[in-house]
Amino acid sequence: MSYPTPATSVKLVLLGEAAVGKSSLVLRFVSNDFQENKEPTIGAAFLTQKCTIGERTIKYEIWDTAGQERFASLAPMYYRNAQAAIVVYDITKPASFIKARHWVKELHEQAAKDITIALVGNKYDLVQDDDEGQGEREGVRKVSVEEGQNLAAEEGLLFYETSAKTSYNVNDVFIGIGNKIPEAASLASSPEQNNNEGRIDLSTNASSNGNRNLCSC
């Protein structure tokens, strides 16, 4: 395999109320580009997916909440060095939208100031008309597009409505985030670039240092 440029790593965290489809959204994004529909292995530290945008290849390291958000017990580690976040709500559940505001606030407090945040109203498939028309089913949607847009505008967020089920707009979210992340920022905090600054990457280090040192005593 060859890549146009070395992939830059971007840590992306997911936030949102339980059952709004955070994991489904990521699974949709991660599995789409895979050759086969491989079930992600349980226990993966985080899911990774490469995303090529023009000349750049971004390698997303996607951190799921692993349920620790249920009782507001996310650790500082979760937010640390996150360059991007997706705050998800369910467009059929107003409470989840209220919760989304809470998570945006939390991100402003806990995460880096220059973090790129996307607000995502998920489950668009539920409001879509069955006969694939442009219209929406009456009364299912509980959070209007405008509400989402307004919050996004107020807080400086990207905004999308998606369906993890039909994959509507899912890739656009990640491409949108990738476009908004400054190239320099992603380079600076990419683990691959940092080896020479005293950081030890336990997964790759031995390949660069091991050779020389194995034979010495």
Site for other proteins in 65-84 (CB under 8 A): 66-73, 75-78, 80
Binder to other proteins among 25, 58, 118, 151 (CB under 8 A)? Answer: 151
45: contact with other proteins by CB under 8 A: yes
The span from the CA of 183 to the CA of 86, in Å, is: 19
Residue 8 and residue 184: Cα distance in Å, rounded?
10
Please, what is the minimum distance in Å from the beta carbon of residue 93 to other proteins?
7
Residue 211 sits in the site that holds other proteins (CB under 8 A):
yes
Tokens of 76: 């500082």
Assign residue 119 a region (left: φ > 0; alpha: ψ between -120 and 50; beta: otherwise). beta
Write down the least CB distance from residue 12 to other proteins, Å.
14
* Residue span binding other proteins (CB under 8 A) among the ranges 21-29, 155-163, 179-187, 193-201: 193-201
d(CA 76, CA 205): 26
For the chain, the farthest-separated pair of C-alpha atoms sits apart, in whole angstroms, at: 75
Among 14, 17, 88, 124, binds other proteins (CB under 8 A): 17
What would the 3-class secondary structure string for 122-153 be?
ECHHHHECCCCCCCECCCCCCCCHHHHHHHHH
Query: Which stretches of the chain bind other proteins, using CB under 8 A?
Result: 1-3, 6-7, 17-18, 40-46, 48, 59, 64, 66-73, 75-78, 80, 92-95, 97-99, 101-102, 105, 126, 139-144, 146-147, 151, 191-192, 196-200, 202-207, 209-211, 213-214, 216-217
